[in-house]
Amino acid sequence: MHFSILTIFPDFFVSPLQEGIVRKAVQEDKVKIAVHNIRDFAVDRHRVTDDRPFGGGEGMVMKPEPLAACLQAVNRTEQPDRVVLLSPKGVRFTQQQAERLTAYRHLLLVCGRYEGVDERFREKYVDEELSLGDYILTGGELAALVVLDAVCRLLPGVLGCEESATKDSFSRGLLKHGQYTRPRLFEGVSVPEVLLSGDHAAIERFRFLESVKLTMERRPELLMGMSFSPDEEKLLQREGLRSRIDAITRGNREKSHTA
């Protein structure tokens, strides 16, 4: 898969792309990443890429000409098939969004800055907008790194263990259960005995229940509309969790109707 990143701060990406899983994926030619400096396409000698908004108001707006010229230069050589603008106005980025983006051969990520990009550029060139959440960053560079990392790790052969991505938190909507490693005893607290039993079915049941309990405690809204297998339903009933899940989902529905 190929990623092209448009930014006014290309050096921002130097260190992150030299570390961890992404670096290994690039070295093994599973992923190609190109960072393009929007300032190289500015039309004045000061390489200005932003200006005051028409109509007045706070802050600055990214100019359309350098953005369009940079994108067009990428199009001539790399031909991306999806242009994504990182913006607080975008759809919230989730695990499901990351999975969806793996279907594209070449993603182009535009890093917004200041008060945003000129609307004319967005309307003509941007296919979709993504946001990390309901807060404001100083620019889209951090968001682009998050999207790149989340998508990369889902690509075949990028992770050492292929099952890691399919069993992550949010992959099926539940938070992931707690994890334990050596030593067996740490500061007087032992690893749960079931994890030492060698009974893989019992371990899977334990981990499933722990995931459900953790989700109920920390992110109960994730349980809305979630479906479970017949065996999972029996387990939830036996542990007294089904009635608690039903109560949580009823409460969430009532809140949404009230809102």
Q: pLDDT digits over 165-204, tens only? A: 655 556 678 999 999 999 999 999 999 999 999 999 999 9
Three-state SS annotation for 134-199: CCCCCECHHHHHHHHHHHHCCCCCCCCCCHHHHCCCCCCCCCCCCCCCCCCEECCEECCHHHHCCC
Task: Please tell me whether 203 is known to bind a ligand.
Answer: no
Homologous superfamily of 185-258: tRNA(m1g37)methyltransferase, domain 2 (1.10.1270.20)
Name the stretches of the chain with pLDDT < 50: none
pLDDT at 253: 77
pLDDT at 163: 59
Domain boundaries, the chain: 2-152, 185-258
- CATH number at 2-152: 3.40.1280.10
Bridge partners for 255 per DSSP? none
Task: Please tell me whether 137 is known to bind a ligand.
Answer: yes
Whole-number Å distance between alpha carbons of 145 and 52: 28
Helix axes 141-152, 20-27, angle to 10 degrees: 60
Residue 110, token pair as written in the block: 């535009």
Q: What are the residues whose beta carbons fall under 8 Å from the beta carbon of 159, sequence distance 6 or more?
A: 21, 153, 165
The answer to whether 86 touches 142, Cβ cutoff 8 Å, is: no
Q: What is the pTM assigned to this prediction?
A: 0.86
Task: Please tell me whether 245 is known to bind a ligand.
Answer: no
Task: Please tell me whether 104 is known to bind a ligand.
Answer: no
pLDDT at 19: 94
CA-based end-to-end distance of the chain: 42
Active centre residues (catalytic): 88, 115, 153, 168
Helix, strand, coil percent content, the chain, rounded in steps of 5: 45, 15, 40
Closest CA to 38 of 72, 14, 79: 72
Helix axes 242-258, 230-238, angle to 10 degrees: 100
Within the chain, how many helices (H) and strands (E) appear?
A: 9, 9
Task: Please tell me whether 136 is known to bind a ligand.
Answer: yes
Q: What are the residues whose beta carbons fall under 8 Å from the beta carbon of 53, sequence distance 6 or more?
A: 59, 60, 61, 115
